[in-house]
Amino acid sequence: MKAFSGRAVALALVMASSGLAGTAAAEDKVVNLYTGRHYQTDEKLYAEFTRQTGIKINRIEGKEDEIIERIRNEGANSPADVLITVDMGRIWKAEQAGLLAPVKSATLEQRIPSNLRDPEGKWFAFSTRARVLIYAKDRIKPEQVDRYEDLASAALKGKVCVRSSGNIYNLSLLASIIATQGEQKAEEWAKGVVANMARPPQGGDTDQIKAVAAGQCDVAVSNTYYFARILNSTKEDDKAIAAKLAISFPNQADRGTHVNISGGGLVKTAPNKQNGIKFLEYLVSDEAQRYFANGNNEYPVAEVKTDNKVLEGWGSFKTDKVNVGELGRNQAKAQAIFNKVGWK
């Protein structure tokens, strides 16, 4: 297993010294959270949960796959109560590893749409992010980027910037296409995108957006919150980037825009199960849902109005209703297709 960040190691030592690791007795007012989320804005969310309930959150942070592997290695003695991470592909790994326990909660079932939670209650989405197309307003017409399929069209030859095939966001996007269009169509699409790339895949979503603004390509694939950060920024450089770009929510006339999730569930060996469930239920409260939106530009899973001017300004849009569990099930097929068509 790869090394954890210095902060994560420090937190781990704090937990061990306070008697939370190994077989230590469970405390009454604590939730031990293992999280792959690394957003500073989540601090307010955790603090408010503690203020309302008196339940302290002990947090271990690490890279997404490392967090899952840590729980697996700790086994029955793991102090973990709740696992939270980003992207359904990773949540799927945790479920398949048998790390998550089914939860029956009327609150979670009522607040979270059925396609954004496991039918057995092993995992739940707490926020979503749409994978959209960002394009140069002066070089691309909106009708040229109406659908994901347009990324493979002859009109965009040499004009597309995108991350690597190993990036889990792209794996989940292709997994969604497999789920709705089948493997053959998915392969044809991926092959077409490779043919239209302006450069070899490199960097993260923000790098793709900046490349469009710089004229290195005309269209990029990105999660919404990356673009929203730029639009919400007060920096002059970001304002200059934003002025050149527009956003397309693809496939509004058919299956809808692909969305992925940040979510998780109750760990099967949780020593503080009831506290863990209370925390999961808190994450779908109106207040917590606004924290996700206002703090990190993510979409709430529950129907709440946010104070995020960019998200509210984009308005509502049609989303792909396939159960996001399919994104996990099709990960291996997606990677095989990427490898076959030479998407590096």
What pLDDT, in 10s, does the model give residues 106-159?
999 999 999 999 999 999 999 999 999 999 999 999 999 999 999 999 999 999
In this chain, the answer to whether the domains covering 6-128+261-307 and 129-257+324-341 adopt an identical fold is yes
Q: Which residue in 150, 137, 143 sits closest to 218, CA to CA?
A: 137
Per-residue pLDDT tens for 270-281?
999 999 999 999
Give domain limits for the chain: 6-128+261-307, 129-257+324-341
CATH superfamily, with its number, for domain 6-128+261-307: Periplasmic binding protein-like II (3.40.190.10)
Q: For the residues 314-333, what does the mean pLDDT come to?
A: 94
Q: Is the pLDDT of residue 310 over 60?
A: yes
Q: Is it the case that residue 2 has pLDDT exceeding 70?
A: no
What ranges in the chain are assigned the alpha helix state H?
A: 6-17, 42-53, 64-74, 88-96, 106-111, 168-181, 183-196, 205-213, 224-232, 236-243, 273-282, 286-296, 309-314, 325-329, 331-341
Say what the pTM is.
Answer: 0.87
- In sequence order, the 6+-apart residues with CB closer than 8 A to the CB of 230 are 206, 209, 238, 241, 242
Residue 134 contacts residue 205 (beta carbons within 8 Å): no
Domain 129-257+324-341 adopts which CATH fold? D-Maltodextrin-Binding Protein; domain 2 (3.40.190)
